[in-house]
Every structure is written in C-alpha cells, then in structure tokens.
Amino acid sequence: MTGAETANLKHKFPALQQISNYQPVFWINDHMKGTGEAFSRLSMLYPRLNEFAIRDAETRLQRFAPLIARLFPETKDSQGMIESEIKEISAMKYLLQHKYSQAFEGKLLLKCDSHLPVAGSVKARGGIYEVLKHAEDLAMQNGMLKIEDDYSLLAEDYFKDFFSQYSLAVGSTGNLGLSIGIMGAALGFKTVVHMSRDAKAWKKALLRSKGVQVLEYDSDYSKAVEAGRIQSHKDPKSYFIDDENSLDLFLGYSVAALRLKKQLAEMKVTVDREHPLFVYLPCGVGGAPGGICYGLKTLFGDHVHCFFVEPTHSPCMLIGLMTGENEKLSVFDFGLDNLTEADGLAVGKPSGFVGKVMAELVSGIYTVEDHDLYRLLAMLADSEQITIEPSAAPGILGPVMIAGSDAGKTYIRKNNLEKHMKNATHIAWATGGLFVPEDLMQSFYERGKELLN
C-alpha cells in the first residue's frame, strides 16, 4: 500500500491514526445489523453456514466421544466431551473495579477454555473438530467406517496404519498447531506444523514430543500459513487445515455456543432483552472468536453482544473490519510491528472469510496494551487462583471498557440497554494456558505483579 493510500484511509477513518501510534482504541461497529437481516445476507454468501451445520458438527463430536475418551483418559469423566467450565469470578470483579477505578453492573463470568482438555486452549474445538471430520471422511470413503459404528475402533492399530499414509498440515502461532498436532498424531497421521516466529519454544517442544514435525519460520503468522499451504498442496495425500478460510474449523468453534447455552441454563442465567449477554473474545486471525460469535448470535440473536479484543501491536481484525478491506490490509501497512507477548494474537492480516461473516454481527473491537495482559492474569491468579496465558487475558477488561469508555456508553445508549445493565452477564473468554510450563507461568505472574505495583 502506498503512503498516499494509507493517508487517505487515515483521513477517512481517524481512529487509524491512534492505531498507528499503538494507542488503545474501542471501535463500535456501525455496520452491525439485526441478526435476522445479517443472517439473510450470510445465507446468500455462505449457504453451508447455518444452525443445522452447527448442530451437525456437535453431532459429529458426539460420535467421536468414545474415541476421545479412549485416546485421552483425562476426558473419561466427561465421556469424551472436550469442554470447559464456566465460573462466576466475583472476587475478580471486585479487584477489577478497584484497580481500574471503574464500577460496572452485572455478573462477571470466565469461560475457561484456558483449561480445555487435550489441547489446553480454545483451538481444541475447531482444530480437533476438523482433524476428526477429515479422519471420518477418509475412513468412510475407504469403506472402513459407518456412521452407526462405535468410533472408539479408530484407535485400533489398523486404523493408525491407514491414517499414517496421510498427512495433515497447518500454519500456526502455537495453539492451533497444538490442537491439530496432538489429535493428528494420536490418530496416526503424519502431522506438520508450520510455526511463525511468535510461537513459544515450549509449544514447539511439546509438539515434537508428540512426534509432530515442526517447521520454523523467521516471519509472521501469514507467511507460515502461506508456506504450509504451498507445501501441502504439492502432496495429494496431504490435507491443509486453513485457519484463514476453513468452514469446518469455523463450525467446530461455533459448537461452543451450544455448550455455553446449556451451561448458562444450568447456572440459571437468563439471556433476553432485559438480561443482555456481553461476550469478550480475544482475536488473532479471527476463526475462533468468529465461530463462537456466529454460534452465539445464532442461538441468542440480538440479546448477545460480542466484542473482539486485540493487542495494540496486532489489531488486524480491527483494521480489516473498520475499513471493510478485511484481508487486503495488514498491520504493517500502518507502521505496526505485529510484536506482542500474546503469541496467539500475533497476526498481521485477518481472515477475509471471517471478516465477511462478522461484518454485520460483531458489536465492536477494543485493543489492549501488553502490560495490561500481565496485570490481568496476575489479578486473576490472586483473586480466583486461575492461571492463564497472556493472550487469554484481554477479555477480562471488557466490562470496564463498556462501562468506562465513551464508545461503550454510546453503544449502551444506542441499543437502549441503560436500564438493563444491572441484569447483564459479562463473559470473558479465556483462550489458553493449561499447558504453559510452571516456571514460565510464574514469570508471567511476577511480571504482572511488578506492573500492578
């Protein structure tokens, strides 16, 4: 992009100047429509994207549950269901209001995808789902599996021998690679993960310990994805899991909404016009938060308000949605370096597919500085004894942003929510952290405490 083109965009969208200066911003999506109108547009763009497809994905995961319970003993208590708890974090709410000098109404809950079994992050849903769907397709196409079979038989050696003829490939900053590498290797696939420079050493080591081939690049996430896509397409027996464009990945993430609806009902949390639901989702390339948002809007309609959260150094989805240019623009076009401690969010260019789906559904996006990530994770550890990685922390700041910023207040007023905020439920989506080595987690905590003091 030329300097003149960049200057023109900054003139048209003044917030881009703040973004270019690494300043936190809170953008409200002026293009958001009512769910009915937005879904009508989407049905023409993506006919395969609908509630039936979400429920079909959930049914497929249920078929695989006996296999998952057999391969991963930690899921036996949940009968092979890979799911996380949701917890009210009232002590964190108190601390958050005190530290940021901002009161807010309603409950604060934490969706603990930071502790999802098998892969330890939100990517466990989408990544594992697409691996399982591909395995099912291969087995059925070769006459080895019928839909009424007990899928635990896929753990048998003859299936592993069969899958070993095939390869899986993915580009990742870390967590998606973990989910695909761990599940792919467990089934017997040759699995290759193309890792960007942002990927943490411990994540690469964990993958290699599972027998996964890790290829490292001294470049950002988009280049790792591109390299993986090119290499995979040369081999007819290689299947590339495309974080930027995969509908199956997206649908795997969207299943979270069905699970969450059940959990909220069990907690007796109402979601309707008088009881709005606010959900704050950390965002990298956009697949996981986009899929979750799509699922939630499908189930709760206009009563759920989804906000994405990005680091100030990597606000690719914000730039793409604000301008409407999606994947045509990169953070580098605006002088940003895409360097952040939130490795899962270190993405320079957003998914064009997700941008188009979210254009009229997502309520807005706010950005946070890295030091806030450490403060928030330390506060969560102190108040609730829950440990998460930096990229999982930014959603916790959501209620403060809604209550304390001009943009948040404007959003509440425009949506006629002022008198209902006392009944609001705020969900911060914690996206990763289970497998972080103890010494590294301790260093995260100590840095957060230093910043708080």
- The CATH number of the domain holding residue 270 is 3.40.50.1100
**Co-location of 186 and 280 in the same domain:** no
**Co-location of 173 and 273 in the same domain:** no
**Co-location of 184 and 243 in the same domain:** yes
**Co-location of 380 and 363 in the same domain:** yes
**Co-location of 170 and 45 in the same domain:** no
**Co-location of 243 and 254 in the same domain:** no
**Co-location of 81 and 141 in the same domain:** no
Q: By C-alpha distance, which of 314, 359, 126 is closest to 221? A: 314
Alpha carbon of residue 234 to chain centroid: 29
Whether the CB-CB separation of 166 and 285 falls below 8 Å is answered with: no
Q: Which of 197, 221, 247 is at the close of a domain?
A: 247
> Residue 5 and residue 299: Cα distance in Å, rounded?
40
Whether the CB-CB separation of 170 and 238 falls below 8 Å is answered with: no
Beta bridge partners of 88: 109
Whether the CB-CB separation of 242 and 221 falls below 8 Å is answered with: no
In order of 2, 5, 74, 123, the CA distances from 396 in angstroms are 37, 35, 28, 19
Whether the CB-CB separation of 252 and 126 falls below 8 Å is answered with: yes
Alpha carbon of residue 395 to chain centroid: 11
**Co-location of 28 and 67 in the same domain:** yes
**Co-location of 214 and 256 in the same domain:** no
Q: What is the CB-side half-sphere exposure of residue 6 using CA atoms within 13 A?
A: 14
pLDDT score of 195: 87
> Any idea what the Cα angle at residue 383 is, between residues 380 and 385, rounded to 5°?
70
**β-strands 425-430, 277-282 pairing:** parallel
> Residue 60 and residue 54: Cα distance in Å, rounded?
10
Q: What is the mean pLDDT of each run of 10 residues along the chain (453 residues)?
A: 86 96 98 96 95 98 97 94 97 98 98 95 93 98 97 97 97 90 97 88 92 89 85 92 93 98 98 98 97 98 98 98 96 95 92 98 98 98 98 98 97 97 98 95 98 95
> Residue 184 and residue 122: Cα distance in Å, rounded?
17
**Token duo for residue 128:** 């594992």
> Reduced to 3 states, what is the DSSP secondary structure of residue 203?
helix
> Any idea what the Cα angle at residue 381 is, between residues 376 and 384, rounded to 5°?
105
> Reduced to 3 states, what is the DSSP secondary structure of residue 198?
coil
Range of the domain at 157: 123-247
> Residue 209 and residue 182: Cα distance in Å, rounded?
10
**Co-location of 218 and 141 in the same domain:** yes
Whether the CB-CB separation of 129 and 138 falls below 8 Å is answered with: no
pLDDT score of 3: 79
pLDDT score of 220: 80
Backbone angles phi, psi at 430, to 5 degrees: -85, 120
Q: Which of 232, 247, 262 is at the close of a domain?
A: 247
pLDDT score of 199: 83
**Co-location of 37 and 166 in the same domain:** no
Q: Which are the contacts of 365, defined by CB distance < 8 A and separation ≥ 6?
A: 26, 27, 29, 283, 307, 308, 309, 310, 315, 317, 318, 321, 322
> Residue 373 and residue 395: Cα distance in Å, rounded?
9
**β-strands 26-28, 364-368 pairing:** antiparallel
Q: Which of 247, 268, 289 is at the close of a domain?
A: 247
Q: Which are the contacts of 36, defined by CB distance < 8 A and separation ≥ 6?
A: 301
Query: Among the residues of 301-369, which ranges form H helices?
Result: 316-323, 352-358
In order of 44, 227, 282, 297, the CA distances from 37 in angstroms are 12, 38, 26, 12
> Residue 378 and residue 445: Cα distance in Å, rounded?
5
Domain count, the chain: 2
Query: Among the residues of 100-122, which ranges form H helices?
Result: none
pLDDT score of 178: 93
> Residue 364 and residue 28: Cα distance in Å, rounded?
4
Q: By C-alpha distance, which of 373, 411, 412 is closest to 393? A: 373
**Co-location of 223 and 307 in the same domain:** no
Query: Among the residues of 329-427, which ranges form H helices?
Result: 352-358, 370-384, 398-404, 406-414
Beta bridge partners of 364: 28, 307
- State the DSSP code for 275: B
> Residue 225 and residue 232: Cα distance in Å, rounded?
10
